[in-house]
C-alpha cells in the first residue's frame, strides 16, 4: 500500500508531501491542473527513465520518494533475489541530479532501474484508458484464469519441474554434441595411455635408474680405479697403510713424553683403522663389479623411453607424467561411459516429462472447470457497465510442447454486440470498452488474489450517468480488499471515495505551481458541486453533491 509520496523540484511542483490511507482514494482537478505531473513523478519511482527537462530548477536535484507498507505482500524472496534490504515499510527514492544523471534507492540501498521495475510491479499498478495492452497478452489472460482456478501451487510445482526439464534437455544436447568429438579423441587417448603404461611410473625412481646406468656403463674404469686405490693403500713397504704404521711406531716412542704426542699417536691410530676399513670396502666393491651388457641395455632403453615421454608431453618430471596419465584415463572412462550417461539422462527426462504432463493436465482441468464461472462474472459486471450484450468465449486447446503456462493454448475471444462474430479483444473492443473490461477483470482478480495498489487514471472517460455510478461501486468494492486510486472527472465516482485530494495550480510571483490538497467534508461538497455544475455553484448542485456523498 502506498502510504506517502514526496516530490521536490519536479515539473511545476516545488515541494509536495502527501500521506495516503487504505480504501478508495479520489484525485480530481481541472484539465491541465497537473494530475499528469503527479503520475509522472510516481512513474519515476516505479522505474521510468528520468528526463532532466522535467527538473524545475536545474541547479538543484529533483527528489521523488514513495513509502509503501508491504507487510502482506510476501516479497521477502524477491528482495533477496534483487539483493535489497527488506523492510515492511519500504521506501523507494529517485534522484535526478543537475548533471542529468539519475539514481535509484530502495531502503537507502542503491539499485538499478531494472530492479526497480521488477519490484514496483508488485507494489502499484497505474492503469489508464490507453494502457490496456495487458488484456490482449496470453500471459495476463492465463494469470486471470489461474487465479480463479486456484492453480498457484500447481503452477509453482510445474515451473520448478519445467526448469529442471529444460536444464536437463540442454545437458543432453551438449552430451550428444560432444559425443562425436570425444569418440575421435578416444583412440588417441587410448594410444597415449598405453605408452605411459609401458613403464610403472608410480614405482619408478629415475635417480636410482640413472645411477645404475652410470655404474654399468663405466664398469671397466670403476674396476681400474678401485684396483689402483687398493694398491696405493696396501703396496708392501710403500703403501699408505705400511707408511702410516711406521709413523705410528715413531710417535709411540714419544707418546709418554707429553699429552700432545699421545693425542697425535691416537689420531694416527684412528686414521690407520679407517684406512683398513676403506681397503676392505674397496675390496668388496671390486668383488661386486660385473659386466652386464643385457642389464645395461635394458636400463638404457628404459631411460630413453622415459625421456621420450617427458619430451613428448612437454613436462620435466615423472610426477607430471603420472598426472597426465590419470587425466587421459579419466577421459577414456568418460567416453566409455558416455552412452550410459546419455541413456540415464534420457530416462530421467522421460520421467520428468511424464510428471510435467500430469501436472499440466491437472492445471488444464482446473482451468476448464472455472471458465464458465469467469465468463459469467465478467458478463454480469459488464452488463451493469452499459455493455448488456457483451459475451466472452474462452477456449483451451491442448499443445504438444511445454510452455511457461503449461500445455494449453488459450483463446480469449469477445463480442460486444448481438449478431457480431467473436474476435480477439484487440479487434473486438474499443478503447472505452477495453477500459471497462479491464476494470471488471481487476475486480474479479481482487476477490481471488492479493493485488498491488491500483491507480485508475481517467478510465471513466466517455462514461456518464448510472454507468459511472456502477464503475464507482466496483472500485469501492475493490477497495475493501486493496488500495485503489481513481483520477476522475465524474462526481458519481468522486463521491464514493474514502478520501479525496484535489490537484490545482497557483501563481506566485509570476510562477505557476502545482499543488495537491486533501479535502475536508465541506471542501468535498464544493468540489463535487463544481464537477456537477461548473464554476458557478448553484444550490441544487450543492444539494446534489451532498446527496451523492451521503
Could you please report the per-residue DSSP string of 275-300?
HHHHHHHHHHHHHH----HHHHHHHH
- CB half-sphere exposure, 542, CA atoms < 13 A: 8
**CATH 3.40.50.300 occupies which residues in the chain?**
1-123+452-519
Angle between helix 138-149 and 338-384 (nearest 10): 80
Closest CA to 204 of 330, 319, 308: 319
Rounded Cα–Cα distance for residues 487 and 478 (Å): 15
Q: Give Cα separations from 408 to 115, 348, 357 (angstroms).
A: 31, 24, 11
Q: Give Cα separations from 35 to 2, 41, 67, 123 (angstroms).
A: 17, 10, 19, 20
List pLDDT tens digits, range 244-263.
Answer: 888 888 888 888 888 998 99
pLDDT at 145: 94
CB atoms under 10 Å from CB of 17, counted, come to 11
pLDDT at 200: 76
Residues in the chain: 550
| Burial label, 405 (beta-carbon count in 10 A; 0-12, 13-18, 19+) | buried
Whether the Cβ atoms of residue 429 and residue 99 lie closer than 8 Å to each other:
no
pLDDT at 295: 74
Q: Which residue has the cell 515539473?
A: 11
pLDDT at 450: 82
DSSP per-residue string spanning 206-217: HHHHHHHHHHHH
Which positions of the chain have pLDDT values less than 50? none
Superfamily for the 1-123+452-519 domain: P-loop containing nucleotide triphosphate hydrolases (3.40.50.300)
Report the relative pairing of strands 453-457 and 423-424 from DSSP bridges: unpaired
Rounded Cα–Cα distance for residues 372 and 383 (Å): 16
Q: Give Cα separations from 403 to 370, 397, 398, 399 (angstroms).
A: 21, 13, 11, 9
* Strand order across the 391-403 sheet: 391-403, 406-415, 423-424
Q: How many H-runs (helices) and E-runs (strands) does the chain carry?
A: 18, 15
Amino acid at each position: 500500500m502506498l502510504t506517502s509520496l514526496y516530490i521536490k523540484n519536479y515539473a511545476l511542483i516545488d515541494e509536495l508531501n502527501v500521506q495516503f490511507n487504505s480504501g478508495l482514494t479520489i484525485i480530481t482537478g481541472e484539465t491541465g491542473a497537473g494530475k499528469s505531473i503527479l503520475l509522472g513523478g510516481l512513474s519515476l519511482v516505479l522505474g521510468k527513465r528520468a528526463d532532466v527537462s522535467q527538473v524545475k530548477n536545474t541547479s538543484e536535484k529533483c527528489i521523488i520518494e514513495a513509502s509503501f507498507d508491504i507487510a502482506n505482500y510476501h516479497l521477502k524472496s524477491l528482495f533477496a533475489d534483487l539483493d535489497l534490504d527488506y523492510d515492511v515499510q519500504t521506501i523507494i527514492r529517485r534522484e535526478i541530479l543537475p548533471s542529468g544523471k539519475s539514481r535509484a534507492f530502495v531502503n537507502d540501498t542503491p539499485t538499478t532501474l531494472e530492479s526497480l521495475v521488477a519490484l514496483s510491479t508488485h507494489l502499484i499498478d497505474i492503469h489508464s484508458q490507453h494502457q490496456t495492452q495487458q488484456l490482449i497478452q496470453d500471459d495476463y489472460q492465463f494469470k486471470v484464469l489461474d487465479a480463479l482456478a486456484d492453480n498457484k501451487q500447481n503452477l509453482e510445482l510445474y515451473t520448478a519441474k519445467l526448469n529442471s526439464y529444460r536444464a536437463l534437455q540442454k545437458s543432453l544436447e551438449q552430451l550428444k554434441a560432444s559425443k562425436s568429438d570425444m569418440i575421435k579423441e578416444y583412440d588417441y587417448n587410448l594410444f597415449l595411455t598405453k605408452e605411459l603404461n609401458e613403464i610403472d611410473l608410480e614405482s619408478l625412481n629415475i635417480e636410482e635408474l640413472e645411477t645404475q646406468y652410470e655404474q654399468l656403463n663405466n664398469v671397466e674404469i670403476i674396476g681400474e680405479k678401485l684396483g689402483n686405490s687398493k694398491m696405493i693403500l696396501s703396496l708392501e713397504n710403500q703403501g699408505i697403510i705400511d707408511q702410516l704404521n711406521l709413523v705410528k711406531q715413531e710417535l709411540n716412542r714419544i707418546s709418554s713424553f707429553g699429552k700432545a704426542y699421545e693425542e697425535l699417536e691416537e689420531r694416527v691410530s684412528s686414521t690407520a683403522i679407517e684406512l683398513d676399513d676403506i681397503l676392505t670396502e674397496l675390496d668388496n666393491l671390486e668383488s661386486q663389479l660385473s659386466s652386464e651388457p643385457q642389464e645395461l641395455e635394458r636400463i638404457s632403453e628404459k631411460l630413453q623411453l622415459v625421456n621420450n615421454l617427458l619430451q613428448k608431453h612437454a613436462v620435466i618430471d615423472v610426477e607430471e607424467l603420472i598426472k597426465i596419465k590419470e587425466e587421459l584415463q579419466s577421459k577414456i572412462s568418460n567416453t566409455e561411459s558416455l552412452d550410459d550417461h546419455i541413456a540415464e539422462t534420457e530416462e530421467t527426462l522421460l520421467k520428468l516429462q511424464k510428471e510435467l504432463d500430469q501436472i499440466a493436465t491437472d492445471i488444464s482441468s482446473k482451468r476448464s472447470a472455472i471458465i464458465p464461472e469467469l465468463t459469467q462474472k465478467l458478463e454480469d459486471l459488464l452488463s451493469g457497465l452499459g455493455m448488456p450484450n457483451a459475451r466472452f468465449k474462452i477456449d483451451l486447446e491442448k499443445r504438444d510442447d511445454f510452455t511457461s503456462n503449461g500445455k494449453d493454448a488459450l483463446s480469449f475471444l469477445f463480442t460486444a454486440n448481438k449478431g457480431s462474430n467473436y474476435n480477439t479483444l484487440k479487434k473486438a473492443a474499443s478503447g472505452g470498452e477495453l477500459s471497462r473490461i479491464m476494470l471488471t477483470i481487476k475486480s474479479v482478480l481482487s476477490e481471488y488474489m492479493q493485488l498491488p495498489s491500483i491507480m485508475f487514471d481517467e478510465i471513466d472517460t466517455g462514461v456518464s450517468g448510472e454507468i459511472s455510478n456502477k464503475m464507482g461501486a466496483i472500485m469501492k468494492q475493490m477497495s475493501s480488499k486493496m488500495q485503489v486510486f481513481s483520477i476522475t472527472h465524474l462526481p458519481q465516482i468522486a463521491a464514493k471515495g474514502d478520501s479525496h485530494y484535489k490537484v490545482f495550480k497557483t501563481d506566485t510571483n509570476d510562477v505557476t505551481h502545482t499543488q495537491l490538497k486533501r479535502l475536508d467534508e465541506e471542501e468535498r461538497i464544493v468540489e463535487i458541486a463544481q464537477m456537477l455544475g461548473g464554476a458557478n455553484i448553484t444550490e441544487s448542485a450543492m444539494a446534489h453533491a451532498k446527496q451523492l456523498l451521503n
